[in-house]
Structure 1
């Protein structure tokens, strides 16, 4: 059994910070459960280009408000507490935080913990 508390992750190498977001990586590939789980904060008044071409991501918003816009068709979906979205077709998207948003994110294949978005907005697929 794995039991962790967010306070054990904060301030460690599993607490990744970027310009528009921070991601506390609760479960990683090394845990051997087939997915990774992140507690992510999206900063208010930000826009981030994201394209998980190597991963499927499911996101559940716990708090805050924003929107996601799919780049290919320009559709905009509001996000608020209680909203789930899944990027099951590897959609390139813009994530906008109107207020700070707290999200629970699940990735398959699981992340190793060191990933950050590259210039395309992609996490690399790390095999090792």
Structure 2
């Protein structure tokens, strides 16, 4: 079945309510979310970062309740960007273009063995992940470099790098933080609504 893009875009979320007299959760909802580039533009979820070097299209945000966020970043030709996600873990897939990723050691020191930063060629299908400790520099070659990434904690929407080079985190109260402690971790890493009670009971007629 083909769903009309025009119809989907009006709400961006297709939901089918399952109502059963026997169900504990009579308002339980099953949803399919669909968004395109026009949608994120209309919702002002497209940001220009790194002095114009990156266009970041933010498709899935914390408010969507999936437990992670999804972004499509476009790095302009012959431009570079430094990525430091000390507040997030991030997985990145290259979908278009060619470039290079260089690992920047702590305090920007050169490695003793090669006197150079380790580097990796980027092309469609290349993948890398950062576990909130590394800093990398990504450079596009002669064409745009397209990167699709998944972040946790999920983005609220307007996050950018601050003056210290840190990609900040916005907590549930809307406060922008350069770092955070264990007291708010559970509020940032909540499971999605559909998995909050586990999966073993999802198909039970009484659930």
TM-score in terms of structure 2 length: 0.59
Q: Which structure dedicates a bigger proportion of its chain to strand?
A: 1
Q: How many angstroms apart in 2 are the aligned matches of 1:121 and 1:11?
A: 29
Q: Which has the larger radius of gyration?
A: 2
Map of 1:39 onto structure 2? 72
**RMSD over aligned Cα atoms:** 1.4
Dislocated runs of 4+, deviation >6 Å: none
Aligned-pair CA distance for 1:127: 0.5
Aligned-pair CA distance for 1:117: 1.5
Q: Which ranges of structure 1 fall in alignment gaps of 5 or more residues?
A: none
Map of 1:110 onto structure 2? 154
Greater RCO, 1 or 2 (C-alpha within 8 Å, sep 6+): 1
Q: How many angstroms apart in 1 are the aligned matches of 2:103 and 2:75?
A: 17
Q: How many angstroms apart in 1 are the aligned matches of 2:145 and 2:42?
A: 19
Q: Deviations over 1:56-105 (max 9, x none)?
A: 11111110011111101511011111111111253111111112111111
Aligned-pair CA distance for 1:41: 0.5
Counterpart mapping for 1:7-18 below 5 A:
7-10=38-41, 12-18=43-49
Counterpart mapping for 1:81-100 below 5 A:
81-98=124-141, 99-100=143-144
CA separation of 1:120 and 1:67: change in aligned 2, threshold 3 A: farther
Q: How many angstroms apart in 2 are the aligned matches of 1:120 and 1:71?
A: 16
Q: Which ranges of structure 2 fall in alignment gaps of 5 or more residues?
A: 1-30, 106-110, 112-116, 173-207
